Amino acid sequence: MPITDQEKLGIVDFLVKEEQNVPVLLQVARSVTKNICDVTTTQEALDYIYIQIGDTLTLLNKRAITREMLFRYLHQRKIQVNADFTKGALISKIIEYWNSSQNEHTTTQNTDTYENETTLPYVAERTVLNPVERAVVTQPADWHDKESHYPIHLLARKFTEWFFSNLNIQELKIDDFWSDAKLQLRIAATDEINDYHCDSASEVIANLLQTKEQFGFYFNPNLTHAGVQGRMNVHGLVLVLACGTLHTEPNCVGVFECTFGLLRDPFAENNWKVKTMQCILRSQTAALMPSLSESETLKEALCLPTPEGEIT
């Protein structure tokens, strides 16, 4: 089938506005021209793709467009996929999204404001969302739930998305943690349980990255209100409660539950930094995305206060 106008908007959204995907766009365009043409701009690349490929399914099936790229795109737009997803399933989900009436509004809005949209480190000011961020972050199906609007929950969802996106691409930095940050990590496999404790930012990062590399995990948090929430403990520490699924090529292999303790750093532009982190990785099947209400380990934290106003 020819590429529809809606799909063209979607392709721009996926391969142009996602700046890290631009090199892939140029690579695909050069490959379809057999490297005869020197493709240097995104518009040239799009023109070659629209004419020479002419079919969205064929384009997204190109080897250069990886499953991780497709998954990240859906994940950033708060579109839930089945736990055991394949590249074909992700492609079908994206094409369906591009041709939906909801996407027509969202894509047009993003097109109008794209020049102002940037990807920034996680800073305190981002708890007040600009129109582009609001269009993306507030898409969960439970958006009508008044409580999900609370600033502490918005902060929790933004932080969770930022943290696991950076963990998945191994870009967490020592400055994202307090120097004395602590980690309690439990890896519960079918035949054994291993516990790890870290007492400094460098140890925390090294342990997280080593675990990810050893098992090849891809962390897929449930970014709806059912899967990520904020709380305040008695010491004024902002707690972020999050859960999701663990993936390795090509299967869902487990679930995770995490609690983050966040504090602002007045000497780092008042950014939120990780002070404490407790995380459990469990080996189990997951037909559906897990939710916080199902967790035994997070029950106590879920009973803590939920501030309705701005977080200071």
Amino acid 87: pLDDT = 86
Q: Average pLDDT per run of 10 along the chain, which is 312 residues long?
A: 87 90 88 82 91 90 88 89 82 91 47 36 35 34 62 93 92 94 93 92 95 91 91 90 89 93 89 96 85 91 88 73
Rounded CA separation 277/260 (Å):
5
Q: Which helix (H) or strand (E) holds 15?
A: helix 5-15
Q: What is the pLDDT of residue 145?
A: 60
Contact by Cβ (8 Å): 281, 217: yes
* Distance in angstroms (rounded) separating the CA atoms of residues 275 and 183: 9
Query: Domains of the chain (ranges plus CATH)?
Result: 5-114 (no CATH), 141-302 (3.10.450.50)
* Residue 33, pLDDT score: 85
Q: Dump strand ranges (E) for the chain.
A: 177-188, 193-198, 218-221, 228-232, 238-248, 251-265, 271-283
d(C-alpha 121, C-alpha 271), whole Å: 9
* Amino acid in position 55: D
Distance between CA atoms of residues 14 and 301, nearest Å: 37
- Which phi and psi angles does 280 have, rounded to 5°? -120, 125
Q: What would the two tokens of residue 140 be?
A: 């969960």
